[in-house]
Amino acid sequence: MINGLLGKKQTMTHIFTEEGKVEPVTPIKAGPCIVTQVRSQGVDGYNALQIGFEEVKRANKAESGHLANLPLVRYLKEIPSDDHEQVKVGDLITVEIFKQGDRVDVIGVSKGKGFQGGVKRYGFSGGPKTHGQSDRHRAPGSVGAGTTPGRVIKGLKMAGHMGNRRVTVKNLEVMITDQTNGLVYLKGAVPGSRNSMVLIQKSK
């Protein structure tokens, strides 16, 4: 079963259900994706499909050689699949693999926020606002004990780079599949900025 598709996140919107309820949705311009390589248990030790998304005019020598006799693509991604025997290189995968009511996981890169303090990054409360405090309103506070252990424990929440990380949002519901325009409407929010690449996979 082919259970994955690459796409680009579009602007969030909302739809009305048949019951008249408003649901927030994220449309994703998904596919068509071309199968660029088929991996099998006998040759590679596992079953998977490599799919390509978004055609481009030129590529480097390595990519051009790998995609010989195929359209050049910007993105390549490998997805697990048990249908490797029914699929061959050059086949197209479209939004038809999803239907209304399916549950999917979406993997993307979250929006980068730059270097942020503890209040924004982790929801710290900050210091007291009165009683003589002047420059400790958004300070992190204590970061450890004294002589024992005499160091800061690894992994302590502190100010630092926020966002721009791989994020997986699980179990989103497929609300609408628009095969004419290649759109999948997913209930709720999806990681990433507008027009960023995401991978949609059927939930296990």
* Per-residue model confidence as pLDDT tens digits over 4-17: 899 999 999 999 99
pLDDT digits (tens, 9 = 90+) for 165-195: 999 999 999 999 999 999 999 999 999 999 9
Q: What is the residue extent of each domain of the chain? A: 1-31+95-120+159-204, 32-93
If you classify domain 32-93 with CATH, what class do you get? alpha beta
**Distance separating alpha carbons of residues 60 and 93, to the nearest angstrom:** 25
Task: Give the residue among 185, 193, 184, 186 at the shortest CA–CA distance from 169.
Answer: 186
Q: Which residues contact 7 (CB under 8 A, 6 or more apart)?
A: 28, 29, 30, 31, 53, 184, 197, 198, 200
Please tell me the pTM assigned to this model. Answer: 0.86
Mean pLDDT of 156-163: 97
pLDDT digits (tens, 9 = 90+) for 85-114: 788 898 899 999 999 999 999 999 999 999
Assign 125 a pLDDT band (cuts: 50, 70, 90): very high
Q: In what order do the strands lie in the sheet with 92-93?
A: 73-80, 48-55, 33-39, 92-93
Superfamily of domain 1-31+95-120+159-204: Translation factors (2.40.30.10)
**Pairing verdict, β 48-55 and 22-30:** unpaired
**Averaged confidence pLDDT in the chain:** 93
